[in-house]
Amino acid sequence: MSEDVKQATTGGKIADYEKKVQSLMQMGGEKALAKQRGGGKMTARERLDHLFDEGTFQEMQLFVKHRSSLFGMDKKDIAADGVITGFGRVNGRTVFAASQDFTSAGGTLGEMHAKKIWKVMDMALDAQKPFVALNDSGGARIQEGVPSLEGYGGIFYRNTIASGYIPQITAIMGPTAGGAVYSPALTDWIFMVKNTSYMYITGPEVIKAVIGEDVSQEDLGGAVAHASKSGVCHVVTENDADCIDKIKALLSYLPDSCHSPLPCKSATDTAGRACPELNKIIPDKAARAYNMKTIVKAIADDNEMFELHEQWAQNIIIALIRIMGRPVGVIANNPMYYAGVLNVNASDKAARFIRFCDAFNIPLLTFTDVPGYMPGTDQEWSGIIRHGAKLLHAYSEATVPKITVVTRKAYGGAYIGMCCKQLGADYVMAWPTAQIAVMGADGACNIIYRGEIAAAANPAAKRAELIEGYEEKFNNPYFAASLGAIDEVILPADTRQRIVAVLDVMQGKKEFRHVKKHSNIPL
């Protein structure tokens, strides 16, 4: 073959390659792409461009095709089989991702679509790097039948194997229904977009047909519904760009894997910064509320916190902050909601966050202001005993550095549940405003001094006198400190300084447990 013929042949193959790539890059075609953008959504490729540092995304398995021949599928081409997979850098760090393409057959999941996701997840596991799923799919590809179901099964399995090993984040950026909802539920964090994303096991039409209940798609499975009612969604976002920006922010707090160091930033705050505003934050009257988020932000570097589950179980706060550039997980009762009591949802919310932080070696900082557990038949019959035990289990199981700060109330079993020393807290501090006891002074005196109050000439006056004496003797941090239950009573203004000091000395903490397969948390 002459040199000219060789060049012509090679040139033809290059041109053929470029033509194929160009065709696949058009995804579902201009009309479908325009419809996607018209609905206020980015395309699958635009989402990846926004997630990854410019020019770093490397696509995998672009040429994969489905191999189904049923129901006319042999005549249907689906660009990249409806999902774009690959890896790149996010803020300079390697991340793997899969982005479903709704413009190509509705982003439905079939055999090869699933295998592309399996491949990128397997690589993320082997590389020990985070995995991000950008979901926008009509669900299982019905025409392919059982292989599509097997595809989901393989994803669920990998989600489970990856759990606690690498961070997994899912963004719901369109429909996610039926079996497709379980992969997000198995990942660490779920982000949803207002008005354009929804999740549900059975849709409004099925619900109407089966039980006669009318409900809109948004009310049933929209972002706000899952963020405030079900607790399925951890972060609500305004649009696709905001969603991806918040994912990038969350990733900045997380290590690449459970074996990787925490991502530490150069500290822009000082270790010796006092927080004088905290000396005045606790109200004079115990029944008055204050916003615990003010305390968390005050002690955080540059007053920044990344809150998760903001709209669900608001009586407890979970958030990521930095202390001298290092990530720290915060769990805090919030007296602004139900006086900060522990209930079923608050226990679940906190326990899962504690286990996540422990899995990825993120130190735990607990702020306690809790009057007890929520009373009533609703909580008892909903299993507050079982759910409350999750919190005890999670704290006890965690081997990362654990610091507790008691700001005000710490009563009874809830005092234990918010990481007292006996649950493994490495250092417990209390403000002078702390009230640490089995119960509040009113209830305690009604039990201890019942006979004395009844026999008094003026029961009300006697009761008030006894309550005052009880509070002076027991309902303060000094009695607990005298027994060693509290390591230090500190001024609120010094809280950040003391936390910085304890975290610094506990950086190298090593705690060994009995060798076993795994614990049995009371699910």
Whether 178 sits among the annotated catalytic residues: the reply is yes
Which contiguous run of DSSP H or E holds residue 243? helix 240-251
Please measure the distance between the N-terminal and C-terminal CA atoms of the chain and give it in whole angstroms: 71
Rounded (10°) CA dihedral 447, 449, 453, 454: 60
Residue 142 tokens, joined:
């019905």
Q: How many Cα atoms occupy the beta-carbon half-sphere of 452 within 13 Å? A: 12
Give the active site residue among 114, 414, 441, 481: 414
Q: Give dist(CA 10, CA 19) in Å, integer.
A: 14
Q: Give dist(CA 318, CA 310) in Å, integer.
A: 8
Q: Give dist(CA 279, CA 23) in Å, integer.
A: 65
Give the active site residue among 145, 164, 178, 231: 178
Q: Which residues pair with 366 in a beta bridge?
A: 331, 404
Whether 413 sits among the annotated catalytic residues: the reply is yes
Give the active site residue among 231, 325, 413, 424: 413
Burial label for 218, CB within 10 Å (0-12, 13-18, 19+), is middle
User: Are the CB atoms for 64 and 115 separated by under 8 Å?
Assistant: yes
User: Are the CB atoms for 367 and 316 separated by under 8 Å?
Assistant: no
Q: Give dist(CA 508, CA 97) in Å, integer.
A: 33
Helix axes 44-51, 240-251, angle to 10 degrees: 40
Which among 387, 390, 456, 395 has a CA at the least distance from the CA of 422? 395
User: Are the CB atoms for 478 and 489 separated by under 8 Å?
Assistant: yes
β-bridge pairing 435-437 and 402-411? parallel
Rounded (10°) CA dihedral 504, 508, 514, 515: 140
- The alpha-helical segments, DSSP class H, found in 401-507 are 412-417, 441-448, 450-455, 459-473, 477-482, 495-505
User: Which residues have a Cβ under 8 Å from the Cβ of 47 and sit 6 or more positions away?
Assistant: 99, 134, 173, 240, 244
Active-site residues, by number, are 178-179, 413-414
